[in-house]
Amino acid sequence: MGEKAKAAKKIVQKLSLRPAKGKKYNRLVSESLAQIGSSQAKRGNHALAKKTFGEAKAFAIDEKDALERDLILREIAYREAEAGLFDDSHSTIECIKWDENKNWALNRLASQQAREGKYSDAKKTSRKINDAAILCPILSELAEVEIYDGKINCAVATILEARKKAMEIENKMVKQVALEILDDIEKGMHADLITIQKRLKL
């Protein structure tokens, strides 16, 4: 562990020994630990990061207020996903009770999985989202990543799935935006294919 991480953890440990003061106490300690865990993972020390995230989760679980506990767990899940600890992030998400918080955490996890090229895992994660308004953006992002990586057939299937889900969105404005984004992605994909075809003919 780096000197900065050691110093930060000492501060957090001192905080954890203080009597709880107000509703934000467990959030302060757990989110501080999550930030340290994220830094450790980025430095390649995944074993230590897992331990630190575990400490963060313990403070979150100790929170008595259900909504506050969910918000803390969501932030931890975000950090774990960003650190590449996908299984840990998924485990943390399973502890979240409120659907909206769980859906946003799944959205972030699927996004990170897609960026790492784990397409099947990203789709599997995204399909656990039960809100079409939250699901469509991640499917759109996944389609863009697939196009960038040359997986055109996969991208087409993802776009079709996203369009189907977009039609389930109740808010008309949100639905319109979702469909417009998909239109733009398709236009960009077709433009890329035309460019490739032209290059092949040269």
pLDDT tens for 124-143 read 999 999 999 999 999 999 98
Task: Kindly indicate the confidence band of residue 33, based on its pLDDT and cuts at 50, 70 and 90.
Answer: confident
Residue 81 has pLDDT above 90, yes or no: yes
Taking only the tens place, the pLDDT of each residue in 58-78 is 888 888 899 999 999 999 999
What pLDDT does residue 196 have? 46
Structural tokens at position 11: 């501060």
Residue whose pair of structure tokens reads 């767990």 in the numeric block: 73
8 Å CB contact between 109 and 84: no
> What was the pLDDT predicted at 87?
95
Q: What is the mean pLDDT of the chain?
A: 84
What is the model's pTM? 0.78
Which pLDDT score is estimated for 16?
Answer: 53
**Which band of pLDDT confidence, cut at 50, 70 and 90, is reported for residue 6?**
low
117: CB partners within 8 A, 6+ apart: 145, 149
Residue 202 pLDDT > 50? no
Give the span between the Cα atoms of 6 and 10, in whole angstroms.
Answer: 6
On whether the CB atoms of residues 151 and 132 are closer than 8 A, the answer is: no
Q: How high is the pLDDT of residue 147? A: 85
Using DSSP's 3-state secondary structure scheme, residue 63 falls into coil
